[in-house]
Structure 1
Amino acid sequence: MQAYTGWLMVGAEGGLMIGDMLAQLFFFLVLLALLAKFAWGPLMNIMKEREEHIANEIDTAEKSREEAARMQREASEELKKTRQEAQAIIDDAKKTAGQQERAIMESAREEAERMKLAARQEIEQEKEKAVQALKDQVASLSVLVASKVIEKELSEQDQQQLINDYIKEVGEER
């Protein structure tokens, strides 16, 4: 017969053997010690390395993000500076163009004045030449008339005719 005493069965036929239990406990503890020595340490080292690797990746990503933000700020500042320089160049070009326009206009005015003055001088010279030519003609005609008058004494009608011929002759020469 068997006696039942709670969770422990003691008896010859299917009872719990304390020796087997102690042996299994011993082998379990040995297995646990071996696992702790050969598996748990390396496993923990691998986990620690993995943790450090992840922490380094996070730090690297954070530094990269900060570097990208810094570079973006620098690029924005450089772009702003470049735009300001371009605007300054455009303003300078406009100013220079305005100055050149004024210089060209002033030069054109001066050239026009010079041309007008030269034309006036030329007109004056031509006028003087014409007056001189007219004086020369009048003088030569006066001499001619005087010589004709001397050659013959003219009546009043002949003198009128001579004057009319002279005026006609002067008109044709022009």
Structure 2
Amino acid sequence: MIVMLIFFLILMFLVSKFAWGPVMDMMKKREDYVANEIETAEKSRAEAEKANKEAVERLNTTKQEAQQIIEDARNAGLKQEQDIIESAKQEAERIKVQAQQEIENEKEKALQALQDKVASLSVLIASKVIEKEISAQDQDELISEYIKEVGEER
């Protein structure tokens, strides 16, 4: 039994000297590797969460910018529509005023022509009256002729 005890102690010494150290080193390396992998995984997860938050923020910012661009375009369209309507109203008013002026000018010309015609007819009637003495019947005939001539001129 003592011999067995001595062999056991020698075996324990040899195992601890040659096997225990390398096994413990291998276990330590394995433990370090697993810890390093866990730490790397945590860093990757944190970076992924950060990247996800940044992507969501950029998406929201882009949506807001797109909404602002749409709103600006809508406002620009409404302003342009109002400008076009206002321009059309001004042009219509200008054309209306110009037409009224042309109508007034034509009316003046027509009145002037009518006055000239009436004056020439009056001179003609007066010359006819002077040429002959008028009876009531002659006077009625002259007035009828005058009215007929004025009617034909129109």
Query: Which TM bucket (shorter chain)?
Result: 0.7 to 0.9
State the distance in 1 between where 2:74 and 2:37 align.
54
Shift of 1:52: 1.2
TM-score (norm 2): 0.79
RCO higher in structure (CA 8 A, sep ≥6): 2
2:121 aligned with 1:121: no
Query: Which digits, 9 at most, give the CA deviation of each residue in 1:102-151, with x for residues without a partner?
Result: 33333233223222211211111111011011001111212222333344
2:64 aligned with 1:84: yes
State the distance in 2 between where 1:64 and 1:49 align.
22
Higher alpha-carbon deviation: 94-103 or 134-143: 94-103
Aligned counterpart, 2:110: 130
Higher alpha-carbon deviation: 155-164 or 85-94: 85-94
State the distance in 2 between where 1:86 and 1:134 align.
71
Aligned counterpart, 2:3: 22
Give unmatched runs, 5+ long, in structure 2: none
**Structural RMSD (CA):** 2.7
Richer in helix (by share): 2
Give unmatched runs, 5+ long, in structure 1: 1-17
State the distance in 1 between where 2:131 and 2:119 align.
18
Aligned length: 154
Alignment of 1:1-174 (within 5 A): 22=3, 26=7, 32-174=12-154
TM-score (norm 1): 0.71
